[in-house]
Amino acid sequence: MSDDVAAQFVDQTNQINPVVELTAEIVCAFVANNSVPTAGLADLLQSVHQALLGLGQSTAAVQEEVTKATPAQIRKSVTDEGLISFEDSKTYKTLKRHLAGRGLTPESYRAKHGLPADYPMTSAAYSAQRSALAHSLGLGQQRRRMEPKTVEVAETVEEAPRSPRGRATSASPSKAAVKGRGKKAEAAADEGGQRS
């Protein structure tokens, strides 16, 4: 080993660098549980060591700088037929599902792009269509209080009241009593009903 590489592993008090020690422990545990080719061992050691060195430092990853939308862009993004997303510049009837797929809520989307709190999440045409459908189904209407209907009672009864089975009830119960006893008994009951 060269002196520069050795200095990297051993500090001034002749102790092993804790990052190197941790790298060795991680690689040993990984190799014990996984099959690693001999040629790939050096690359594995180097990648684990670089990852551990990068943990203590601030990340140099460039985050996307999102520019806030101008008032003109906000006005143009809201049309009657759809809303233009600031994420992918496509037109949507409703942005809620689109934003959920990107891990955003309506509030975070508004904050990310500098949109006002009353920025719509559904297009005007879509809202009108859904409203018309709801009204056609009778939703959203207050229940009308039904006044009790008054029934006019006729003073005279023109027909004999009907039994629950829909048959007219007779004044003489003799027909019902003699039912099933034969024709002579029915004829006698008819004569008896006509006499009274």
Task: Judge contact between 106 and 117, C-beta under 8 A.
Answer: no
Residues of the chain where predicted confidence (pLDDT) is lower than 70: 1-15, 56-66, 142-164, 166-196
Q: How many domains does the chain have?
A: 2
pLDDT computed for residue 11 by the predictor: 52
33 and 76 belong to one structural domain: no
| Domain membership flag for residue 32 | yes
Q: Is 73 exposed, middle or buried (0-12, 13-18, 19+ CB in 10 A)?
A: middle
| Domain membership flag for residue 169 | no
pLDDT computed for residue 175 by the predictor: 52
pLDDT computed for residue 17 by the predictor: 80
> What one-letter code names the amino acid at 164?
P
CATH number reported for the structural domain that contains residue 131 in this entry? 1.10.10.1550
For 45, 57, 125, the CA distances from 135, given in Å and listed in that order, are: 68, 60, 15
83 and 41 belong to one structural domain: no
| Domain membership flag for residue 37 | yes
End position of a domain, from candidates 102, 135, 168:
135
Whole-prediction pTM value? Answer: 0.41
106-114 LR contacts (CB < 8 Å, sep 24+): 112/66, 113/66, 113/68, 113/69, 113/86, 114/68, 114/69
Range of the domain at 32: 3-55
| Domain membership flag for residue 163 | no
pLDDT computed for residue 54 by the predictor: 80
Task: Judge contact between 114 and 69, C-beta under 8 A.
Answer: yes
pLDDT computed for residue 38 by the predictor: 86
pLDDT computed for residue 131 by the predictor: 93
83 and 31 belong to one structural domain: no
- Rounded CA separation 68/112 (Å): 7
Q: Which of 7, 38, 39, 45 is nearest to 23 (CA)?
A: 45
* Per-residue model confidence as pLDDT tens digits over 2-55: 455 445 555 555 667 888 888 889 988 988 998 888 888 888 888 888 888 887
| Domain membership flag for residue 16 | yes
pLDDT computed for residue 61 by the predictor: 47
96 and 120 belong to one structural domain: yes
